[in-house]
Amino acid sequence: MTDLDAVLGNAGPTGLKERIAAELAAVRERSLAYTDADDDMLVRQHSPLMSPLVWDLAHVGNYEELWVLREVGGIEPLRPEIDHLYDAFKHPRKDRPSLPLLGPAEARKYISGVRGRVLDVLDQVDLTDPDPLRAAGYVFGLVLQHEHQHDETMLATLQLSRRPGLVRDGELPPGRPAAEPEVHIPAGVFTMGTDTVAWAYDNERPAHRLYLPGYAIDRHPVTNGAYLEFVEDGGYRDPRWWLPQGWEWAERNGVEAPLFWTRDGDTWWRVRFGREEPVPPDEPVQHVSWYEADAYARWAGKRLPTEAEWEKACGGRRYPWGEADPGHLGRWANLGHRAARPAAAGAYPDGASPYGVEQLVGDVWEWTDSWFQPYPGYRCFPYEEYSKVFFGDTYRVLRGGSWATHPSAVRTTFRNWDYPIRRQIFAGFRCARSEE
Ligand SMILES: [Fe+2]
């Protein structure tokens, strides 16, 4: 199947344009919902780790302008004087509140002006053109995913701000215990990455064959209940479980539980979008750093999976359950801010991979043991600042998306990365074990 076939299905270019337009409208509705707040909330910096929300808002419009309007549409810059403000590489997050950013009303006006012209470009463009930005609507996939990724970042900012109101109590299926808590994956060759998913990023390419020895991987992500055993067992006070850098980080910052957790007597509480509630034991743990995940795994006599092990456990499909779009939220995975929390372990038996590994996609991003590195034969496209500048041994790879990730911004080959100390993202983990 070619890239184009994979995206078009039976719809053809006209159907694809309609789908792109619908997805663009949906993502914008989402961005506007997260920024439907008073100006002070939007311009304030809630954490030095994060941009003010109004920066994210104008930045998604600026990115759309650069790629769709200028690169593909050949349209003159609308506001060339603001480009540098929204270039993530010119100003670190901590400095962004002191920049002369567009105010909330101006930012909304700017992004809607861009969007109107983007829809004109969509109308005109030939999606069967072999140019890699045009073919199969790649550039639209780029801006769609980018905006959804920023929406998830905005949710992390909102969680840090402790602003109430974003808890959505959508129904999630109940969990069920695993008869066999680990799944054995036999030794052998598998295909990592993709050449055929049309909107895949450059870092997911090219597909390549890789041999892995046999290993065992947890059927479900590690739950709060299991993680609490580590906490109660003094896991945070025992340097045996920690890498030296992780131990030093935890000591220096007084870390003794996941972010947003507090203890009151015998009960652990968490704050979720301003709402305080007891920590639910059956949910996958989230808001732990890579160092905490790594320490837990060592305490449990296991280790974190490599990203190759994580991907192989998905069974070589676009999603663990097959090729079907997870847009029908609820059956296979917990994605798209249906509820503002992970679903209990075992909630998605239908979403299992052919090996029987569950909840690989959705619920929580999963830390892996791997550094973010290019695949053999990597070719940068369309720009270096998406992936290339982050390759090396600084960032750890996360896989699978979280409850906050939109279905169009995740698949089994999708790679995310962050510093091993980061905890504000919606990240948890599962463990693995080498086998003879
Ligand atoms: Fe961005």
Q: How far is the CA of 177 from the centre of ligand 1 (A)?
A: 39
Q: How far is the CA of 86 from the centre of ligand 1 (A)?
A: 8
Q: How far is the CA of 255 from the centre of ligand 1 (A)?
A: 29
Q: What is the pLDDT of residue 143?
A: 98
Q: What is the pLDDT of residue 175?
A: 96
Q: What is the pLDDT of residue 94?
A: 85
Q: How far is the CA of 65 from the centre of ligand 1 (A)?
A: 12
Q: What is the pLDDT of residue 329?
A: 57
Query: Distance between CA 83 and CA 72 in Å, rounded?
Result: 17
Q: What is the pLDDT of residue 436?
A: 65
Within 10 A of 3 (CB to CB), how many other CB atoms are there? 18
**Average pLDDT rounded to a whole number, residues 274-290:** 96
Edge-to-edge, what's the strand order for the sheet holding 432-434? 182-185, 215-218, 432-434
Which one-letter DSSP state was computed for residue 65? I
Contact 218, 226 (CB under 8 A): no
Tell whether the model's pLDDT for residue 347 goes beyond 50. yes
Q: How far is the CA of 53 from the centre of ligand 1 (A)?
A: 12
Q: What is the pLDDT of residue 1?
A: 36
Partners of 185 in the β-ladder? 215
Q: Which of 175-179, 257-261, 348-352 has the lowest mean pLDDT?
A: 175-179
**Average pLDDT rounded to a whole number, residues 146-159:** 96
3 state SS of 26: helix
Residue 139 tokens read as 């550039």
Q: What is the pLDDT of residue 366?
A: 99
Residue 182 tokens read as 């680990």
Q: How far is the CA of 31 from the centre of ligand 1 (A)?
A: 13
**Average pLDDT rounded to a whole number, residues 268-294:** 96
Model pLDDT for residues 193-222, shown as the tens digit of each residue: 999 999 999 999 999 999 999 999 999 999
**Average pLDDT rounded to a whole number, residues 14-26:** 95
Q: How far is the CA of 153 from the centre of ligand 1 (A)?
A: 10
Rounded to 10 degrees, the C-alpha dihedral 213/219/225/228 comes to 10
Q: Select the highest-mean-pLDDT range: 6-10, 48-52, 225-229.
A: 225-229
CA distances from 299 to 99, 107, 263, 315 (A): 45, 48, 22, 28
Contact 60, 111 (CB under 8 A): yes
Q: How far is the CA of 277 from the centre of ligand 1 (A)?
A: 33
Contact 168, 341 (CB under 8 A): no
Contact 367, 400 (CB under 8 A): no
Q: What is the pLDDT of residue 95?
A: 86
Tell whether the model's pLDDT for residue 4 goes beyond 90. no
Categorize the per-residue pLDDT at 12 as very low, low, confident or very high, splitting at 50, 70 and 90: confident
Q: How far is the CA of 62 from the centre of ligand 1 (A)?
A: 9
Q: How far is the CA of 148 from the centre of ligand 1 (A)?
A: 10
Q: What is the pLDDT of residue 13?
A: 82
Q: How far is the CA of 40 from the centre of ligand 1 (A)?
A: 22
Question: Angle of helix 104-124 relative to helix 53-64, nearest 10 degrees?
Answer: 20
Query: Distance between CA 346 and CA 186 in Å, rounded?
Result: 23
CB neighbours of 229 closer than 8 A, spacing ≥ 6? none
Residue 166 tokens read as 């974003």
Query: Distance between CA 147 and CA 321 in Å, rounded?
Result: 26
Q: How far is the CA of 312 from the centre of ligand 1 (A)?
A: 29
Q: How far is the CA of 275 from the centre of ligand 1 (A)?
A: 29
Query: Distance between CA 188 and CA 412 in Å, rounded?
Result: 19
Q: How far is the CA of 146 from the centre of ligand 1 (A)?
A: 6
Q: How far is the CA of 355 from the centre of ligand 1 (A)?
A: 35
**Average pLDDT rounded to a whole number, residues 414-426:** 98
CB neighbours of 10 closer than 8 A, spacing ≥ 6? none
Higher pLDDT, 291 or 91: 291
